[in-house]
Amino acid sequence: MKTILLAGFGAMGQSIFDQLRDDPRIGRWLVLERAERADDARRKLGRHGQVVQSVDGLETRPDFAVECAGHEVLGTLVPQLLEQGIDTIVASVGALALPGMIERLDAACQAGRAQLTLVPGALAGVDALAAARESGLASVHYTGRKPPGSWRGTAAASLCDLEHLAEATVFFEGTAREAAATFPQNANVAAMVGLAGLGLDQTRVRLIADPAAGGNTHTISARGAFGRLEVMVEAAAFASNPKTSALAGMSIVRAVRNRLNAIVI
């Protein structure tokens, strides 16, 4: 049975644990959480594992790790895990848009002979986009459309009047790197599209606040020698965080199951 280190036990981390805790192939969980939230995490984790505040000196070495704690953790904890040879599944893909982050993570992978897995989150078609890159891509566009409430608390609030929108409003157009850096809570998907396709600086992104939107809509459009790709997902919002699509958590669960399964899809 496997031991999994789960970095972050907020709403997303707890959802992942709840969906996987009865999997007989997982023998133990190590949950990395801040001291002020440790007691709550221990109560929810119960008999399934241990809560730790640091990966230094772990009594049990995890078989692999899962990060769902945010961009800051990716920049500090994840390189440490990789350098120790611990394969890591990462949810905070948008952090890879920060200057030098890809190079830093790649160096850590090389040093520890470990593998970093990026989950597609709420996106569909990432596998096809990455495959199409092999024959050359001419253009890649990502459009994110969400209700105004899903953009509250982000830079969008200073770019349009989220409280009084009467129609769909485009408040950002730029590169995937710019989108991921400016809207870290909403644009992990933009970074994922960039990394899978033409790159962060060649992928074009448009973000929309739409009062008529029924959910968070993600659209990828690409052209190249392979032909034409058009993929759209209208995802329900995560129950406790409207800025995140529920499918994002499901994507992490799938990545964990792929580490456990003999046959991988």
Active-site residue numbers?
218
CA angle centred on 141, ends 192 and 122, rounded to 5°: 40
Distance in angstroms (rounded) separating the CA atoms of residues 258 and 221: 27
Pairing of β 116-118 and β 26-32: unpaired
Alpha-carbon span 134 to 179, nearest angstrom: 25
Instruction: Give the phi and the psi of residue 16 in degrees, each rounded to 5.
Output: -65, -45
Give me the residues paired with residue 229 across strands. Answer: 222
- List, in order, residues 6 or more apart from 91 with CB less than 8 Å away: 12, 66, 67, 68, 119, 121, 188, 248, 251, 252
